[in-house]
Amino acid sequence: MMMNRLVQALFAQRESLIDTQAEATRRMAELEERIGRAQTNVERKIAVYEGRIGNWKASWLRRKRKTANSCGRTSSLRRKRSKPITARNPLA
């Protein structure tokens, strides 16, 4: 009779451990899915921000060139000096 109770208790404990292991496995799979979704979302947001930065930079360069051209000057990226700058002596 005592051996029967011991065996029943061991089987119950084994079943409980198997259930706990199955629950832990399920949670790990769920966490891996969530991590994968989070990584995808971060990569998508980074791509959107890179696109915004690229658009902003292109717009900024267009405005800079337009402003430089409207003032009668060329852009600082294309500016060439015809002769070197020399210091002038006002007393000479």
What pLDDT was estimated at residue 40? 97
Report the predicted TM-score, pTM, of the whole model to 2 decimal places: 0.53
What pLDDT was estimated at residue 73? 55
pLDDT exceeds cutoff 70 at 82: no
Mean pLDDT, rounded, of the chain: 85
Burial class (CB in 10 A: 0-12, 13-18, 19+), 68: middle
Cα–Cα distance for residue pair 81/85, rounded to 1 Å = 9
Average pLDDT, integer, range 34-48: 97
Residue found under tokens 């971060």: 42
**Minimum mean pLDDT among 59-63, 76-80, 85-89: which range?**
76-80
